[in-house]
A and B are shown apart, each in its own frame.
Chain A
Amino acid sequence: MSNWETVIGLEVHVQLATHSKIFSASSTAFGAEANSQANAIDLAMPGTLPVLNRAAVEYAVMFGLAIDAEIGMTSVFERKNYFYPDLPKGYQTTQLDKPIVGPGRVEIELADGSKKSIRIHHAHLEEDAGKSLHEDFHGMSGIDLNRAGTPLIEIVSEPDMRSAEEAVAFARKLHSIVTSIGICDGKMAQGSMRFDVNISVRPRGSDTLGTRTETKNLNSFKFMHEAIALEVERQIDLLEEGGRVVQETRLYNGDSKVARSMRSKEEANDYRYFPCPDLLPVVLSEETLARLRSALPELPDARIARLAEQFSLSGYDAAQIGGDRATSDYFERVAASADAKLAANWINGELSAQLNSAELTIEQSPIAAEQLAALLQRISDNTLSSKMAREVFNALWQGERDVDAIIDQRGLRQVSDSGALSAMVAAVLADNSAMVADYLGTPAEKRKKKLGGFMGKIMQASKGQANPQQVNQILLEQLQALEG
């Protein structure tokens, strides 16, 4: 075990899944033509004033309720002043002293199954900035303000994590919560969730914090893990060589696996916050709070527990499925008319593998829940062997629709008629007397691997349609009879 202890805190930017921006009615849809979603307010034209989006406020409150946090019944917007071309107003409208979500906690599960509670310092509402493009403009930078004004909550944790694994587990848990309650689409590649990681190390046993660095703007769990491992190593090397860590902002490049310091000017942190005179304090009523609380969808932990209980799933299966809202919705539709254990196996196995390699979400699955259920029914009633089921699955994936039609067209019915199977086995044994003699001459404890040869020939004779479990049993019986 290392002599050093890692201390990690996270700041997480979550884009809220509203239709319009936080202070203007511009659309927040991703991928639109540059600046087609930037109106006079987003461009900070003189004379424009912000009007706050109710959905943004309510989504922030829903997050607070989901993590059992104190809710700021009166919250205040402030101006964070700095100049950057993707911030036309010259300030970011954000919250500081009176955020909408106060202290709360998020429970994570570690690899060994133990649980750990991560404290949330607060979460506040703010607006996103635009995007700067630095290439290809003849020495100029190009500015796209479509993202400017997209509502965000920034979730700030306490420095409660002690390893990259814990930090990633925490990040995944936040992703699961915000997508489960529907306040964020969770699309990391589109920047819907971005992580800033504060990292420091200290001698094990010390209770003072070391100097920290902040690695900004990580947008995948993989990069986050890599960036933390790299930075921890860098800091420990530095300290062991007698150097010291300088407080700084760093950037990690996930492609080159290299991090670098972002040299910031001395004054950079002087944001001169003050309450935004264009916005009044946001006051929540008890009625609003009660309405949002009662409308809060089932949270991931509760859903995992319910799935395990209601469908007798293993802890692993329940966590894999219940941690993601879309996956658990899909699972419940399949399990409504098919065996739940089988459904969990296929969703976590074949389906999730295919979706991953095609880079699709389960909501984009070419196989509808009802089709998968129909397929699983044909496994349960022994029409299909698992090998045949995979063939039907592939046909469904390619766009064929009807499970029974696929089975009929391809002659995929499994033969489970024991009379027919017995005859088939007997014929194969009769045709392969040398193999039979070899088998019978082999000591009992080594016979098992000889069975494969017979199985192969029988499956071949049946064109792959014999029920393998039944064949296996019949084969053993017939070989035993020959022995006597």
Chain B
Amino acid sequence: MDLAQLQKLATLSRLNIAPDQCDALAAELDNVLQLVDQLQAADTAGIEPMAHPLAISQPLRSDRAEAEADRSAFQAIAPAVDAGLYLVPKVIEE
């Protein structure tokens, strides 16, 4: 993993990586990727892809709406709220 790839990944993940940590982190991720390479080496020809390791399917719930959410409890731990809205730094697209 080179530094450009690492930087792209960091941007996508909204992670701020200090310059002096980049080399070490890239090396660590390289180790992870090597593990994946090992898995990729297994011969999977003719084997159906598996989306989940458990041989069971998704349980479903009935379509019943519960009472209103306890908004004040959730908003008590939010950094900023106004008129019932959660406030965040402005994100409008240019």
Q: What residue in chain B is nearest A76 (Cβ atoms)?
A: B51
- The answer to whether residues A140 and B88 also contact, given A55-B63, A263-B93, A279-B58 and a CB cut-off of 8 A, is yes
- Number of A interface residues in the complex (CB < 8 A): 58
A262 to B65 alpha-carbon distance, docked (Å): 36
Query: Which B residues are CB-close (under 8 A) to A395?
Result: none
Measured CA separation A329–B65 after assembly (Å): 28
Q: Are B90 and A34 neighbours in the complex by a CB distance under 8 Å?
A: no
Residue of B63, B80, B93 touching A140 (CB-CB under 8 A)? B80
Report which of A18, A137, A279 forms a contact with B63, defined as CB distance below 8 A.
A18
**A31 touches B (CB below 8 Å):** no
CA distance A270 to B14 in the complex (A): 13
A132 x B91 contact (CB < 8 A) = yes
**Chain A residues closer than 8 Å to B69, beta-carbon distance:** 26, 35-40, 42
Cα–Cα distance between A280 and B90 once the two chains are bound (Å): 36
Is A145 part of the contact surface with B, judged by Cβ < 8 Å?
yes
Asked if A312 is at the interface of the complex by the 8 Å CB criterion, the answer is: no
Residue interface mask B62-94, A partner, CB < 8 A = 1 = 111110110100110000101111111111111
B10-30 interface (Cβ within 8 A of A): 11-12, 14
The answer to whether the Cβ of B36 comes within 8 Å of any Cβ in the partner chain is no
Query: B66 and A53: CB pair below 8 A?
Result: no
Q: What separation, in Å, do the CA atoms of A139 and B91 have in the docked complex?
A: 10
Question: Which residues of chain A from 266 to 295 have a CB within 8 Å of any chain B CB?
Answer: 267, 270, 272, 275, 277, 279-283
The answer to whether the Cβ of A98 comes within 8 Å of any Cβ in the partner chain is yes
A83 & B14 in contact (Cβ 8 Å cutoff): yes
**A263 — nearest CB in chain B belongs to which residue?**
B94
Contacts of A134 in B (CB 8 A): 90-92
Nearest chain B residue, comparing its CB with the CB of A277: B52
Instruction: Decide if B85 touches A137 in the complex (CB within 8 Å).
Output: yes
> Which B residues are in CB contact (< 8 Å) with A139?
90
A143 at the interface (CB under 8 A from B): yes
- Taking a contact as CB atoms closer than 8 A, the residue among B58, B63, B93 that contacts A280 in the complex is B58
Q: How far apart sit A27 and B64, CA to CA, in the bound complex (Å)?
A: 8
Shortest C-beta distance, B58 to chain A (Å), equals: 4
Please tell me which one of the listed residues B60, B64, B65, B83 contacts residue A34 in the complex, with CB atoms under 8 A apart.
B83
The answer to whether A143 and B60 touch (CB under 8 A), given A267-B12, A281-B52, is: no
Known pairs A39-B69, A137-B82, A144-B85; A54 contacts B61 (CB<8 A) = yes
> Quick check: B63 and A145 within 8 Å, CB to CB?
no
Q: Chain A: which residue is nearest B87 at the CB level?
A: A140
Q: Is B42 an interface residue (CB 8 A)?
A: no
- Contact of A20 with B64 at beta-carbon distance under 8 Å, contacts A83-B14, A141-B91 already known: yes
Q: Is B45 an interface residue (CB 8 A)?
A: no
Q: Within the assembled complex, what's the spacing in Å between the Cα atoms of A145 and B88?
A: 13
Residue pair B91, A267 in contact (C-beta under 8 Å): no
Closest B residue to A135 by beta carbon equals B92
Q: How many Å lie between the Cα of A267 and that of B84 in the bound state?
A: 33
Set B11, B71, B88: member contacting A141, Cβ < 8 A? B88
**Once the chains bind, are B85 and A275 in contact (CB under 8 Å)?**
no
Interface string of B31-72 (1 = CB under 8 A from A): 000000000000000000001101011111111111011010
Chain A residues closer than 8 Å to B94, beta-carbon distance: 263
Closest B residue to A39 using CB positions: B69
Tell me if A267 and B11 are in contact (CB < 8 A).
yes
Complex CA distance for A43 and B63, rounded to whole angstroms? 19
Cβ–Cβ contact A282 & B66, under 8 A: no
Q: Besides the contacts A26-B66, A27-B66, what 4 more A-B pairs have beta carbons closer than 8 Å? A: A42-B69, A55-B62, A76-B52, A141-B87
Chain B residues with a Cβ under 8 A of chain A: 8, 11-12, 14, 51-52, 54, 56-66, 68-69, 71, 74-75, 80, 82-94
By Cβ-Cβ distance, the 8 closest A-B pairs, closest first, are A142-B85, A55-B63, A34-B84, A283-B57, A54-B60, A27-B65, A280-B58, A25-B66
> What are some 8 contacts across the A-B interface (CB < 8 A)?
A26-B65, A33-B84, A34-B83, A53-B63, A141-B87, A143-B86, A267-B11, A280-B52
